[in-house]
Amino acid sequence: MPPEGEAGAVPQRLEARQGLLGPELGPGGHDPMLLSGMGQAVQVLGRAIREGRRIAVYGDYDVDGVTATALLVRSLAAAGAQALPYIPSREAEGYGLNEEALSELGRKGVEVVVSVDCGTTAVDVAASRPRGMQLVITDHHLPLREGADRRVLLPEVEALVNPQQPGDEYPFKGLAGAGVAFKLVQALEGSGLVPGGTAAQQLPLVALGTVADLMPLLDENRQLVRQGLFTWAESAPLGLLALARAAGIEGPPTSSDLGFSLGPRINAAGRMREADLALACCLAQDPREAASSARELQRLNGERRLRLKEALEVAQQLVEEMSDDLPAIVVGHETFHPGVVGLVAGRLADEYQRPTFAYSRQGTEWRGSARAVDGVNIVEALAVAAPSLLRYGGHQGAGGFSLPGDAQSAGEFSSAVQEAVATQRNGHLPQRRFSVDAIATLSECNFRLADQLARLEPFGRGNPQVLLCSLDCQVTAAAPFGKGREHLRVGLADRSGAAEAITFNRPWLHPHLPVGRRVDVLFELEVNRWKGREQLRLLLRDLRPARGVAAAASSLVPVGPGTKGM
């Protein structure tokens, strides 16, 4: 925290952030041809487009995969190509390329398959693809490694475009799957294979995929998201415009809207049913079709929230029975809906500040998702546990895995990832720590400050929301809200003024906030827009009993491992 007395200099203190967010790039970003394999990918697709060969775009069922699939299908259609989208079923097929799907595509006359947001780890599947089928992989996930020397395994394909592959010299490694697919469209446009301006029209999709996949909003990602938000009204697909209206988003969305409103609704299709509905929303050409798919996504999102609530209740009970000194949380249960295990992992990782591996029963297998915390590489932990796994993949912050559905395999997996995480953390248990940007009195938290902070948009991983702290505030009211009364609205006052704060999915805080209690609060300043009205509010990140201004201003705000704030 900054020392006491600097609250009035909040905007000046925050200007220094801008210089840390990456270089100023030209309108097109980095040259797409710097990506290894891009030249070969353009050659293969160029020939397919010219000769009228049937092309399939093979994606993934999360937001990044859906948006990447949509943007490439839209771009190839603009070139007059026959582009067939294919997204596997989360429940029936699981993540990534699979042999049966490629065989079925071959029977439908597909000669060229382009993967987006998957394929790098599909070494065996690529080797067994139908004879004569050309495979172009565009991806951003880490490649497989094997043996004591951690030798890299790459699929043998016509072209592999992935900034994470060894030897790739692309200057930015943080692209989402949608970002890599976008660079392919840029390269096709540069070669005259798709009409000019095609890539720019896909920027809203790139922005949504990048933010939802928690990619760092630095360097080129920052530019792609900003441009996507700026061109939203003119370029966003009809379905996304309808979905934004259904979500109550008025005007151009923010990065927070992408991550917390639109992303979950797109994800709801793959989690609760099939991702084809989300893809249809992104590809809809007719306003009525767009509105219909948006309404269904809205309904599925409500179902997702219910299933998540049920799973979290069970998961919390299981975690409470675990030892406090475990380096990771590994939790699985027969009742977890397969579509929400990733959300369970994310919630637990955030709440307990431990990497979390959550899984559920799917047929004869356990299938799950993992989420990291700072200092832990998820895919490296999964690599250590590989002998107990059937499949795995991912990147530093998140991953997916499957293992045999027996108790012994689950126990072996748990032991392996616990040991792997402990090794990465070198025996240190994580703590919740916050880097506070500035102290601000409640009266300083006004619309003027909110407008100044908005200049640092887009916010996300690598450029988090500005975190402010107000010291020695008094609780004037506290009341739950929401359908399940799972959220909390808190009235606060200090010597300078008063403000309203809210926090989501933390109903257990209510008993700790009696009227009159004095607290130090950490929050993001937010302007809530609803039905033409604007309301300023504080989005609570954490709080603690007030320590007195002098003591509080001399330290960060830590919360011990496994605790829930107050």
520 vs 226, 434, 565, CA distance in Å?
A: 33, 13, 11
* Nearest C-alpha neighbor of 348 from the set 368, 367, 366, 363: 368
- Averaged over successive runs of 10 residues, the pLDDT of the chain (566 residues) comes to 38 50 72 98 97 97 96 97 92 87 97 97 95 97 83 95 96 97 98 96 97 92 94 96 92 90 94 92 96 96 92 93 91 92 92 92 92 90 92 86 92 94 81 82 92 85 88 94 86 93 85 92 86 84 77 38 38
Radius of gyration over alpha carbons of the chain, in Å?
24
Q: Is 7 in a helix, a strand, or coil?
A: helix
Contacts of 260 (CB under 8 A, 6+ apart): none
Q: How far apart are the first and last CA of the chain?
A: 19
Go through the domains of the chain in sequence order and give each one's CATH number.
Answer: 33-200 (3.90.1640.30), 322-425 (3.10.310.30), 433-552 (2.40.50.460)
The pLDDT, as a whole number, for residue 137 is 98
**DSSP per residue over 309-343, as a string?**
HHHHHHHHHHHHTS-TT-SSEEEEETTS-GGGHHH
The pLDDT, as a whole number, for residue 563 is 36
Q: What is the pTM of this model?
A: 0.80
Separation CA 85–CA 95 (nearest Å): 16
Q: Which residue type does 373 have? A: V
Q: What is the pLDDT of residues 100-113, one digit of tens each?
A: 999 999 999 999 99
Q: How many CB atoms lie within 10 A of CB 192?
A: 10
**Phi, psi angle pair for 539, to nearest 5°:** -95, 105
The pLDDT, as a whole number, for residue 548 is 61
Burial 255-293 (b: 16+ CB within 10 A, else e): bbbbbebbbbbbbbbbbbbbbbbbbbbbbbeeeebbbbb
The pLDDT, as a whole number, for residue 393 is 83
Check: CB of residue 239 under 8 Å from CB of residue 280: yes
Examine residue 430 and say whether the peptide bond preceding it is cis (omega within 30 degrees of 0).
Answer: no
Separation CA 57–CA 63 (nearest Å): 15
- List the alpha helices (DSSP H) in 152-197: 177-190
